Structure 1
Amino acid sequence: MTEDVVFQGCERMFHSQSARFTRSHAGETGQQSDTRNLHTFLRRKRPRRVWFVAWLLIFVSVFLRGGSACGQSPSNVKPTAQPKETASEHVGSLACAECHKQIYNKYSQTGMGRSMSLVTPEILKAQPTSGSIEDKNTGLHFDVYARDGQLFQSEYELDSNGKEIFRDTRAVKWIIGAGENGLGGLVQQGDYVFQAPLSFYSKAQRWELSPGYELGNSGFNRPILPGCISCHSGRPNALPEGNGHFANRPFSELAIGCENCHGPGLAHVVAHRMGFENVHGHDSSIVNPASLTPALADNICMSCHQTGDVRVLRPGKDYKDFRPGTPLEDTLSILMVPPKRESPPQQDLLEHYYSMTLSKCYRASGEKLSCISCHDPHVEPTREEAPAYFKQQCLRCHNEKSCTLPLQVRERRQPADDCAGCHMQKRDVREISHSSITNHRILTRPDEPFPDIAFQQTTPALPDLIHLNPAPGKKGIPPSALVLLQAYGELVEKHPEYLTRYYTVLDQLERTDPDDPLVQGAIGNRELHAGKYQKAVEHLQRAIKEGHAKTVLYTDLADALVKLDRASEAVQVLKQAADRDPFNAELRKRLIVQLIQVKDHVNARAQMEDYVQRFPADSFMRQLLARVQSMGQAK
């Protein structure tokens, strides 16, 4: 059998697998695959991993409430060049503890104060560290165990005789979550940080697959994204590529700390150490959320506890740019598909602010009720203390006569006389096994219908989306066209009705902001799907040159080059993309296919070997590599 014949067989197998995937996805949506994937360049996630991002965000949010690798794991990823660290205005929570020790000690016991920690021997003594499961969907096995003061997780496969086909074992470096609903783990590979495949569920008291893994096995290659980790650690140093890439020091502060809500503390610390006195009793060197308007105070909470349907950074902004005391809209926009009366919103998770705004309490207060009206972030009552604690918050506005249920009836319930238990019931989180979360709509009764205002929240300037975080005094002003372009692009996959609106905004930006790299990338993608390949190449190359370097731009550019019979150039483009996004399995498969097509079999085989080392659970690629290797041995 000749080398060409073997690699041609590999290529056919690739195309067969790709076709099966495309058909299945088109069937799921009822859309043609070309339409479905028309605007993947707008996603802040890597191709074909859209659902993983949502699952990951849910995972860390729920688990936050309350909450070196073994020799068998690959280690061929070298640290990449890192940007120089700039001087920071942050001082860390320990600096705050010097003067605010009592508050610091209380806060350190809350879910936010324990949101993330290093794996240490001391931590392991308090955590469950043993478990083993089989994923019935994939046939893969997973273990978790502690050894020599470290926590490890393994992914492996067995043949029909029980012999291991492969085993991939990694050290869990960080624990994420405080344990009320569960605990997860993060692993590090060079400069990249990933989620571990197993999580501990407190209610079930066992290790199971991490949320979302039942939809598809990512192994140890689900990247930790900036938009997620920025809410579940104090100061992460995630780089903006959005592929799990971090600075040399991944975290400047692990758990959510004082400065996440009070802003950078350097000026405050310096002022007090130098003996400066407050002017008229107001300390302007630090942000006190209690002194802010309710809207600005809520913006601090919304930065993590409100997702809507899409969150879009403003051009040139990063998640760490948000400063408490400033409008969240200056950093990112949170947008929501308007609910319909026949299908009112049912999501509790990460919709706390939106749910609260629909409550009678919020509307009766003239929009002055805020998150911190009821929640003191420095204090977290125990399960036993919570009913009485939150009842006292209710009694700040209500009284005993406000409740129409007789006191004797209330006291017979367990827990007794529990306002929140009746009016803010916990509901199971359908996305996360063994987890529940509080409904913040503050219902008079469980079947209370949604108020009319829930269906009247769009504006004439933005009639098809709800803008959940407009800057104070600017409710009628929509986000910029660049923000809306990204928002509509991300929504198209689940809401194809936004496709026309997306094109309208793109046409507008082509006239008003033609030089913007995001716009150039969008035009390039449009031209690619219109069959105008030379124009697509020009726009995509320009977008990449100007800094809009998302992986999908490289793959779009490679597709356009192939259509122009410039396959060798396409190979170079895909190599550049793989260097920038080394743990993107689909990207590396495309590179291998392209190498086969240009008959560069030596490098195709080398890429296969590297792929299987990075992604050992991919049985399809293992089979291809075995076929190629057997050819070499036959020679």
Structure 2
Amino acid sequence: MKNRTMRSNRGVWMVTAIAALVTVFVQCMQQPAAAGTDLRGAGYAGAEACRSCHANIYDSYLHTAHNRSTAPANEGTIKGSFERDSNEYYYQPHVKVAMERRDSGLYQVAYLNNQEQQAFRFDLVVGSGRKAQTFLYYQDDKVFQLPVSYFVPMQRWANSPNYPAKQVRFDRNIPIGCFECHSSYIRRTNVSAQDGFRVDHFDQGKIIYGIDCERCHGPAAQHVQFHQANPTEKTAQHIPVQASLTRQQKMDVCATCHSGLRESIKPTFRFTPGAQLSEFLPPDTTKPDPNAIDVHGNQVQLLQASACFENSITMDCSSCHNPHTTERTNMAVFSQRCMSCHQQSGNAFCPKEKELGAGIRANCIDCHMPAKESHVISLQSQGSMQPTPNLVRTHLIGIYPGEGNRFKKL
């Protein structure tokens, strides 16, 4: 009887212990990462920590192009097809790259006369999938671009930017600068030189994908800890507040990525709102012709050259953009923001309404910020003799003759 009671008590204890462990495990899975576990250091909480207080904003942001600017490569994140008859890109009749599933992952495989020459795995996806995606692979502690990208509007594989159109190569080394605008962090371990060029070395897999909350709002560990301990306090503490920043400081947050290609003085991963951008990127002291600025990645310069910006003391990127949600196809939303200044009853409203019709009130954007061809990034799809223009909406707000023809009354 005594043995049976001991066995029964032992069984109850084991069940209780297992239940406790399961409870702790579930709680750990549901709680944000502990302070100090973020790759960037103890000051960072990790984006998931923002969700407990900002659930609606967080869930909306997950679907934005910023959040999806980089991702681990798999069939869920790669837009292109791996199915037969739609998984090949030909450089010449006897030279091709095939996108293939293999036991160890997804690969780009180069063939010469149907004989395999080289094969490298898809490791990273760059691009949200709205326009195009390009793909990277790790080789030891370096990162390289794969030769074939994917052009989403045409649903075709395409030759990757800056690779030759008739030759398969896998050797375009990717520097930290690409990650500074397409991810929130990657751990660089060393810098070396090869053939006169700088080569960055990385800790493979130590990357924070996409542009996360703390990339734009700054380190949030102290902010999260304070508000978890003081849930009734609604005034944000221990984090820069957008409204408290100057106009230039607000612009600088966006300019870390949207002000063109510049070799960083130190990685912009460490830039925080209110800091001096000149400590991270060399100041652009020139004043180039706005019409000569490429539309890819130079949105800040183009906006600052616009009369709308020059004639305002408050306009900044957030005057038109809500970065927490996807609005890019909703011209009416942007147009309403235009008309907060260009009111229909005022002298600043479009004088073309009588000629073009009321439809322009729902779409100021296509006339005054049309899509223009980038000369920095282009993709050559299968069967094309020339690269397909990469159209990017210009942020040089202005008058573009002929763009309003689509609105002319019938």
User: Shorter-chain TM-score: what band?
Assistant: 0.7 to 0.9
CA distance in 2, matches of 1:289, 1:262: 8
Selected match of 2:136 from 186, 203, 208: 186
| Residue 370 (structure 1) aligns with | 316
Equivalent residues of 1:173, 1:185 under 8 A apart:
yes
| Residue 236 (structure 2) aligns with | 283
Note the C-alpha offset of 1:114.
1.1
When residues 248 and 211 of structure 1 are mapped into structure 2, their CA distance, relative to the original with a 3 A threshold, is: closer
When residues 419 and 86 of structure 1 are mapped into structure 2, their CA distance, relative to the original with a 3 A threshold, is: closer
Per-residue CA deviation, residues 283-325 of structure 1 (Å, 9 max, x unaligned), is 34112334311110110100001116xx2433xx333231222
Equivalent residues of 2:189, 2:203 under 8 A apart:
yes
CA distance in 1, matches of 2:215, 2:132: 23
Task: Specify the SS of the correspondent of 1:329.
Answer: helix
Selected match of 1:111 from 65, 68, 83: 65
Instruction: Specify the code of the residue in structure 1 equivalent to 2:60.
Output: K
Note the C-alpha offset of 1:390.
0.4
Selected match of 1:345 from 282, 285, 292: 292
CA distance in 2, matches of 1:277, 1:218: 60
Name the structure where strand makes up a greater proportion of residues.
Answer: 2
Instruction: Specify the code of the residue in structure 1 equivalent to 2:146.
Output: A
Selected match of 1:131 from 62, 75, 87: 87
| Residue 323 (structure 1) aligns with | 272
Q: Say whether 1:293 aligns with 2:246.
A: yes
CA distance in 1, matches of 2:188, 2:62: 24
Name the structure where helix makes up a greater proportion of residues.
Answer: 1
Selected match of 1:204 from 133, 139, 154: 154
Equivalent residues of 1:185, 1:195 under 8 A apart:
yes
| Residue 420 (structure 1) aligns with | 365
| Residue 19 (structure 2) aligns with | none
Equivalent residues of 1:200, 1:208 under 8 A apart:
yes
CA distance in 1, matches of 2:127, 2:324: 17
CA distance in 2, matches of 1:380, 1:393: 15
Instruction: Specify the code of the residue in structure 1 equivalent to 2:394.
Output: N
Note the C-alpha offset of 1:133.
2.1
Task: Specify the SS of the correspondent of 1:391.
Answer: helix
Equivalent residues of 1:186, 1:195 under 8 A apart:
yes
Instruction: Specify the code of the residue in structure 2 equivalent to 1:226.
Output: I
Moved over 6 A (4+): none
Per-residue CA deviation, residues 593-622 of structure 1 (Å, 9 max, x unaligned), is xxxxxxxxxxxxxxxxxxxxxxxxxxxxxx
Selected match of 1:151 from 82, 86, 106: 106
Instruction: Specify the code of the residue in structure 2 equivalent to 1:362.
Output: F
Task: Specify the SS of the correspondent of 1:301.
Answer: helix
When residues 151 and 363 of structure 1 are mapped into structure 2, their CA distance, relative to the original with a 3 A threshold, is: same
| Residue 97 (structure 2) aligns with | 142
Per-residue CA deviation, residues 244-277 of structure 1 (Å, 9 max, x unaligned), is 41114430x2111001100111111111122277
Give me the CA root mean square deviation: 2.8
Task: Specify the SS of the correspondent of 1:297.
Answer: helix
Equivalent residues of 2:91, 2:168 under 8 A apart:
no
| Residue 585 (structure 1) aligns with | none
Instruction: Specify the code of the residue in structure 2 equivalent to 1:102.
Output: N
When residues 392 and 223 of structure 1 are mapped into structure 2, their CA distance, relative to the original with a 3 A threshold, is: same
Note the C-alpha offset of 1:446.
4.0
When residues 444 and 240 of structure 1 are mapped into structure 2, their CA distance, relative to the original with a 3 A threshold, is: farther
Per-residue CA deviation, residues 137-182 of structure 1 (Å, 9 max, x unaligned), is x9742111334593211123x2xxx363x51111102211111111
* Structure 1: runs of 5+ lacking an equivalent: 1-84, 449-635
Give TM-score, length-normalised by structure 2: 0.76
1:26-175 correspondence runs (5 A): 87-123=41-77, 127-129=80-82, 130-136=86-92, 140-147=95-102, 150-156=105-111, 158=112, 162=113, 164=115, 167-175=117-125
Selected match of 1:303 from 256, 260, 267: 256
Q: How many residues align?
A: 343
Give TM-score, length-normalised by structure 1: 0.50
Q: Say whether 1:247 aligns with 2:198.
A: no
Per-residue CA deviation, residues 51-102 of structure 1 (Å, 9 max, x unaligned), is xxxxxxxxxxxxxxxxxxxxxxxxxxxxxxxxxx784322211111122111
Task: Specify the SS of the correspondent of 2:181.
Answer: coil
1:599-614 correspondence runs (5 A): none
Instruction: Specify the code of the residue in structure 2 equivalent to 1:150.
Output: G
When residues 145 and 207 of structure 1 are mapped into structure 2, their CA distance, relative to the original with a 3 A threshold, is: same
Note the C-alpha offset of 1:110.
0.6
* Structure 2: runs of 5+ lacking an equivalent: 1-38, 192-197, 380-387, 404-410
Equivalent residues of 1:262, 1:287 under 8 A apart:
yes
| Residue 266 (structure 1) aligns with | 221
Equivalent residues of 1:116, 1:178 under 8 A apart:
yes
CA distance in 2, matches of 1:446, 1:142: 43
Selected match of 1:354 from 297, 301, 307: 301
Per-residue CA deviation, residues 524-554 of structure 1 (Å, 9 max, x unaligned), is xxxxxxxxxxxxxxxxxxxxxxxxxxxxxxx
Per-residue CA deviation, residues 87-123 of structure 1 (Å, 9 max, x unaligned), is 4322211111122111011111110111111223544
Instruction: Specify the code of the residue in structure 2 equivalent to 1:224.
Output: I
Note the C-alpha offset of 1:375.
0.6
When residues 92 and 410 of structure 1 are mapped into structure 2, their CA distance, relative to the original with a 3 A threshold, is: farther
1:384-423 correspondence runs (5 A): 386-401=330-345, 402-406=349-353, 409-411=356-358, 417-423=362-368
Instruction: Specify the code of the residue in structure 1 equivalent to 2:364.
Output: C
Q: Say whether 1:313 aligns with 2:264.
A: yes
When residues 106 and 393 of structure 1 are mapped into structure 2, their CA distance, relative to the original with a 3 A threshold, is: same
Instruction: Specify the code of the residue in structure 2 equivalent to 1:96.
Output: C
Equivalent residues of 2:72, 2:123 under 8 A apart:
yes
CA distance in 2, matches of 1:215, 1:153: 16
CA distance in 2, matches of 1:347, 1:287: 32
Instruction: Specify the code of the residue in structure 2 equivalent to 1:393.
Output: R
When residues 312 and 192 of structure 1 are mapped into structure 2, their CA distance, relative to the original with a 3 A threshold, is: closer
Higher alpha-carbon deviation: 266-275 or 240-249: 240-249
CA distance in 2, matches of 1:393, 1:170: 47
Note the C-alpha offset of 1:234.
2.0
